[in-house]
Amino acid sequence: MRKKIFSKKADAEAVTEGRDLSGKNIVITGINSGIGHETMRVLALRGAHIIACARSMEKAQKACDSITGKTTPVVCELSDMASVKNCAETIQALNIPVDVIICNAGIMALPKPQVKDGLELQFLTNHMGHFLLVYLLQEQLKAANKARIVMLSSAGHMAASKRGIDFDNLDAAKSYGAWQFYGQAKLANLLTAIAFNRHLGDAGVTANAIHPGVINTNLARDVGGLVGIAMKTAPVKRLLDMSIAKSIPQGASTSCFVATHPSLDGIGGRYFANNAEAKPTKLGRDEELAEKLWAYSVDYLAPYIKAA
């Protein structure tokens, strides 16, 4: 474990204080709200050019207009692989290197199984959409100096099944649990960081995964049942805030730290939480499972990859 530099309560501005990101091009998904918006705001404040990805141009443009700094709004609907491919092509057409990709957007704990293009929606959106985006932007990452990939995973990866990724039930046809499938998708994000770090490491590109913390954002909008109802009530929100929850600026800090701090030059394949390296589950360190997921993902995305 690396020595801790910042406290777990440090916010995004604190962990980037003194950073000059002028000339850096940073791709961020899910910039229209929550920690994605705060990550964009702070990194733009430090001088970075933000390629701001949201589900619609209206949302992307509105978010860009709300902050100070250089931004380029781009459409990226992560549950639509054609949209992700178009997003990658739009970024490629800018003819610039990509210094950082922060895969921030996601959906959480859908109360009922939703299936699209043969995959359960959380796995499709949180994992496949981000995998394709990064895969298609490999050359832009290689063109940068010490490019970084930051995958937002979660401590929720611990909720995945004992097998980690249930390759024979990715469409939820056999069974479904909201939190188990969320955990599976977040484990996939963690394993994807390990795999990209291995595949791109020789080109000077590093990839890490992070847990941003428990944050009261609209990520919980889809959570159903009593848990979902409780999370949206004022008393529970106050209880979370007083105990384990972080503010949005604090929640964005680990993303910003891992994306920009010079102490992490050349550091990849790790998992971070509270602005420091953390220890994931055994499955979250399984390189063989990471490679199996890589192979599955490349095969599933073949129509979009081969046509790229």
Give me the active site residues, please: 176
Give the C-alpha separation, 212 to 75, whole Å: 24
> Hey, which residues does 120 pair with through a beta bridge?
115
| Phi, psi torsion values for 266, nearest 5 degrees | 80, 0
Q: Which residue has the tokens 């909720």?
A: 159
DSSP per-residue letters across the chain: -PPP-S-TT--HHHHTTT---TT-EEEEE-TTSHHHHHHHHHHHHTTPEEEEEESSHHHHHHHHHTSSS-EEEEE--TT-HHHHHHHHHHHHHT-----EEEE-------SS--EETTEEHHIIIIIIIHHHHHHHTHHHHHTSSS-EEEEE--GGGGGS-TTSS-GGGTT-SS---HHHHHHHHHHHHHHHHHHHHHHHGGGT-EEEEEE---B-SGGGGG--HHHHHHHTSHHHHHHHHHTT-B-HHHHTHHHHHHHH-GGGTT--S-EEETTEEE---SGGG-HHHHHHHHHHHHHHTHHHHHT-
